[in-house]
Homo-oligomer: A and B are copies of this chain.
Amino acid sequence: MQIAIPLYDGFTALDAVGPYEVLSRLPGARVTFVAHEPRPVSTDNRMLRVVAEAALRDVPSPDVLCVPGGVTSTRFAADPELVTWVRAAHKRSTWTTSVCTGAIILGAAGVLDGLRATTHWIDREELASHGAEVVSDRVVFQGKVVTAAGVSSGIDMALALVARIAGDVVAQAIQLSIEYDPQPPFDAGALGKAPPEAEALVRAAIAARQAAAAA
């Protein structure tokens, strides 16, 4: 089973690495990170580069594609090469998935027309402008299209996907292998759960990151 994760400058690392860490443990799976050209790709904060080993054109028909989000996803939702690749890969895929604002790129490719979909809580309005019926669920299955909410939700999405592909026991084994028994120190991970002053910090930080990414 070939799994492709397309990277683009400004992607968020955990959006990609969370699903990778789960899906790469699926027996027989081969995960390939792809980009416009094979090269190291910078994340949103420019503190990390992840290597795309192949070009988009080298992996035209993955069984599974998983599009991560990032501070630049709106820009790349208007990138003809990436969007054309997503649209073509989706036609032949078994599963088409996104994490966070990766859903905006799926939306731009027409994948989400008329479907329920989720994304990072701060980008719900933008996703709705791409034809999706946006919901606040953490993971949304619509036929072969699966969207996940912000950043860390890709881990939950990938485990649920493994259960569909290979059964509950394999998914449970992968969950145990990555010791995913979450114990966050706060119950602040969703909009409405965090205190207002924390939400204000996030909105300011994301605005600053988007401004920096656009500079």
Contact = CB atoms under 8 A, between A and B. Distances in A.
A134 to B, nearest CB: 14
Nearest to A30: B47
The number of chain A residues touching the other chain, given as a range, is 35 or more
A172 B191 CA distance: 11
Contacts of A156: 182-185
Nearest to A121: B179
B185 A182 contact: no
A12 interface: yes
A169 B189 contact: no
B185 A205 contact: no
Nearest to A191: B176
A86 interface: no
A169 B198 contact: yes
A202 to B, nearest CB: 5
Interface stretch (A18-26, A87-95, A108-116): A18-26
A50 B51 contact: yes
A163 B176 contact: no
Contact of A185 (B48, B163, B183, B184): B163
Interface string A53-82: 100000000000000000000000000000
B149 A179 contact: yes
A130 interface: no
Interface of A: 12-14, 17-18, 20-21, 24-25, 30-33, 40, 45, 47-51, 53, 100, 120-121, 138-139, 149-153, 155-156, 159-160, 163, 168-173, 175-191, 193-195, 197-199, 201-202, 205-206
8 contacts: A13-B17, A49-B53, A100-B179, A120-B179, A138-B179, A171-B185, A172-B194, A175-B198
